[in-house]
Chain A
Amino acid sequence: MNVGDLLDAQVLGPDGTTLGVVVDVRFALEVVDEPDDDARERDREDPETPLSAHLGRDAVGGARLVGLLVSPHSGGSFLGYERTELRSPWPIAQLVRRRHRGTFLAGWSDVAEVRTDGSPVIVRLVAGFERGSPAL
């Protein structure tokens, strides 16, 4: 199974009702050591160092599948607005937020079945699944 199979998959409740589509897949990334944000910003001020030489980057280990972000409206790109604090530029932020109102996080443990044989791919959730907050 690939992430690409899960994206845009149709999500059904335990009784077979359509809940929406998978708009993103959330992972927990093991971070081995934390980058020092302050040091990075200081380095960027140094007139002789390329700005891009001190990018925010986490030293990472494994990536564990946490859950699926399900939007009742449409698939397609989110641009990330409703999951982060990002609010500007406001017309785009407003538009994206409105389009994806009602998005929730379905925990991977609440996924009963993934059928990849057909098109679209079908994801069925277990009875009593929880609607988690989509916020990162």
Chain B
Amino acid sequence: MTRERMVDARLHLLSRQVLDADGEPVRAVDDLELVGPGGQPARAGAEVRVGAILVGPVLFVRLFGGAVPVSRQPRIAWEDVGHVGTAIELTVPSDRLDADWVEHWLRDHVVGRVPGGRHDPEADG
């Protein structure tokens, strides 16, 4: 059965933690991109939906003003969102998201290379 639930962006969506399909944190929701029907730009008064979760540089725009070039804006498509609760859960693993490249870079080039960096702390004392 499909129904609708009213949610307010600030109250329920913005700044919520985004988790990937495995429950791993990805980012917090920094902004939401609005689109019109068929991916057209959103227009006042016409039908508008959330197209994507925006993360990263857009946070600085919201804090300090300015603009981010659309092409350099990390985004997570709204179609990848599975659940909305105290966190926003995706249906895809984070490895497939380009939104998380700093984490991956640090993992592969710095932290993962230090001895013990891939040691599972829960496995033993």
Contact = CB atoms under 8 A, between A and B. Distances in A.
Interface of A: 1-4, 7, 23-34, 55-66, 69, 77-78, 80, 83, 108-114, 119, 123, 126, 136
B7 A27 contact: yes
Contact of A61 (B2, B34, B41): B2
B78 to A, nearest CB: 7
B113 interface: no
A59 B84 CA distance: 7
Interface range, B side: 35 or more
Contacts of A55: 85-87
Given A4-B30, A57-B86, A65-B50, 6 more contacts: A1-B48, A32-B2, A56-B86, A61-B2, A111-B44, A136-B6
Contacts of B78: 62-63
A27 B84 contact: no
B34 to A, nearest CB: 5
